Structures are given as C-alpha cells and as structure tokens.
Structure 1
Amino acid sequence: TAIANALAQSKDMLHAQQRFMRHLVREGHLDRALEFLPTDRQIRERLAQGQGLTGPETAVLLAYTKITVSEELLATSLPDDPYLRELLHCYFPAALREGFADRIDNHPLHREITTTVLVNDTVNTG
C-alpha cells in the first residue's frame, strides 16, 4: 500500500515531507498542529534519532497530497483528455458501462471522477 511504501522510506523522505508540509502551510492548506503533524523542531529531533513520520502522520500527508494534486489537475484540461476516458468508465460497474457509456461520458462529475481515479492510482502505487 501507499502508506507501507512511504513508511519504508520514511527516514529518507523526511526532508522532502517537511518541505511539502511547509509549502502546504504557506499556501494556507495545512495546519500542522490541527493535523498532529510534527513541527520543524520535532522533525530535526527525529532526523537526529534516525526516525521518520509515523503511520498516522504519513496517512494525513498522503491525503493532503491527493487533495493538492487533484485541485491542481482539475485546473487543467488533463481530465478532459480522451486518453483518460477509460479511467472514468472503469470507475462504474460493468453493467452501467455496457448500457450507459454515452451517459458516463457526459456525467456532470466526469472531470472529478477521472481526476480522483488518476490521482489515487498514481499516489497509491508510488
């Protein structure tokens, strides 16, 4: 899973995770205290002790990764790319895909569904 993969690299990725948290805070997207994420001081201590983020901290950061990437992708034309049509269709059960392909293409949330599937697949597989 994405969390297990991230935890396996936790010590090596702590600097990058710290930069990402700082970026999210700067952009007003993250309150580290509210999400129980470590402060820069706590990160320095963990680095000195050879530790990384905990499982719950990693899960929170992965969630913010998905949210941030989704927002950025939705601001582009990528979700409308015909190449990604299959992602949209695979989101729905086979019975719906077979009988309602044209309606799936015109679903009011087709961009959001395509983006969610793309981001989840990308982040979850690393």
Structure 2
Amino acid sequence: PELAVLISYVKGDLKELLNDSCFTSDAYVAKEVFNVFPSRLNKKFGEQISQHQLHSEIVATQVANDMVNHMGISFVERLHTSTGANATSIA
C-alpha cells in the first residue's frame, strides 16, 4: 500500500510538471489524449476530444503515467540529476 501511495504522488507531481501548453500541444504528444477514450468515441468525436478544455491535463496525465509505469518512479529524477534536463525535455 505504501508503494502505491508513493507511485501516485510521483505520477501527480510529474503530471503537474508536464502540464505545460508547449509540451501538451506538441502534435506528437497531443495524440496521447486519444488513448483515454474508446476508438468509437475517437472516430465520432475526434475534433471535440482534441479541443476539450481538459486536453492538456489528460495528455500530461497519460504521459506521466506511461513514464512511471514503464521507467519507474525515479526515472525523471535520475535523468534530471545526470543531465540537468527538465521533465518536459526528458518526456
């Protein structure tokens, strides 16, 4: 249970760092919003999903979750320490 709480905090903090319009509006990264919704909804409401008021938050959440799930909770901190790069550059 303690590890789940730690993972949750790391994902939340990383999401806040990534929730930057320059990052979340990048054409490649912005496609992450479509991973949240079923393909039927993406096909029918793709334009509305792209312009949703929570678009940036959804994209940042997806990227943060993927990074932590695949690379671990200390990945961003390790790369930041060794390279000086910020979270958006690492993502």
The TM-score with structure 2 as length reference comes to 0.70
Instruction: State whether structure 2 residue 9 is matched by structure 1 residue 59.
Output: no
Distance 2:64 2:8 in 1: 11
Gapped regions of structure 1 (runs ≥ 5) = 1-55
* Equivalenced residues, count: 71
- What's 1:100 paired with? 45
Instruction: Report the identity percentage.
Output: 37
1:17-56 matches, within 5 Å, as 56=1
Change (3 A) 1:58 1:74: same
Q: Show structure 1 runs of 4+ deviating over 6 A.
A: none
Q: Deviations over 1:20-61 (max 9, x none)?
A: xxxxxxxxxxxxxxxxxxxxxxxxxxxxxxxxxxxx222111
Q: Please provide the CA RMSD for this pair.
A: 1.3
1:44-100, CA deviations, whole angstroms, 9 ceiling, x for partnerless residues? xxxxxxxxxxxx222111111011111111145211111113211121111111111
Which amino acid is the alignment partner of residue 63 of structure 1?
A: S
Larger RCO (CA within 8 A; separation ≥ 6): 2
Larger Rg: 1
- Match of 2:65? 120
Q: Distance in 2 between matches of 1:73 and 1:121?
A: 12
